[in-house]
Structure 1
Amino acid sequence: MFERITFSSDVMGGRACVRGMRITVSLVLSLLANRMTVAEILEAYPYLESEDILACLEYAAYLASEEVYSLAETAA
């Protein structure tokens, strides 16, 4: 589902990374949250691609879409 987002216990302690590199999803999201543009990120990290940044946003959106169910609903 997220081909550009990888997990490996050998890289950054198993945190979500971009294509196996030592660039975490949380770093990319933090840069965006601090108003860095995609162009600025790509300039600072030339081994990243714009599709990597989009993949980080898609992964974050996926994680944020979780639903909460009450135990009463699941028991019925």
Structure 2
Amino acid sequence: MNKQLLERITFNPNQCGGKPCIRNMRIRVTDVIELLASGLTAEQIVTEELPELEPEDITACLLYAAVRLNHPVLQAA
């Protein structure tokens, strides 16, 4: 896991309802994931849709999603 990439993901309870955002901007991780899911490439996102982002921000969003989904699930016996 690349810790430096994950440092791009920030949390502020007074911004976007405390949802994970990119570098303290009002761009949520879910915004980027939804754009990727709709078929846009990372290059299209950073050049056309959200030009304030850097390519590393896209990678950080994907890594953050992977880390959040890959957590152990404990079940009561």
**TM-score, normalising length: structure 1:** 0.88
- Between Structure 1 and Structure 2, whose CA radius of gyration is higher? 1
Determine the C-alpha separation between the residues in 2 that align with 1:59 and 1:46. Answer: 20
CA displacement 1:37-66 (0-9 Å, x = unmatched): 111101121110000000000000001101
Alignment length (residue pairs):
72
Tell me how large the CA RMSD over aligned residues is. Answer: 1.0
- Tell me which stretches of 4 or more aligned residues in structure 1 moved more than 4 Å: none
| Structure 2 alignment gaps of length 5 or more | none
Q: Give the share of equivalent positions with the same residue, in percent.
A: 46
Offset of 1:69 from its aligned partner? 2.3
Q: 1:23-62 residue pairs with structure 2 within 5 A?
A: 23-43=27-47, 44-62=49-67
Gaps of 5+ in 1: none
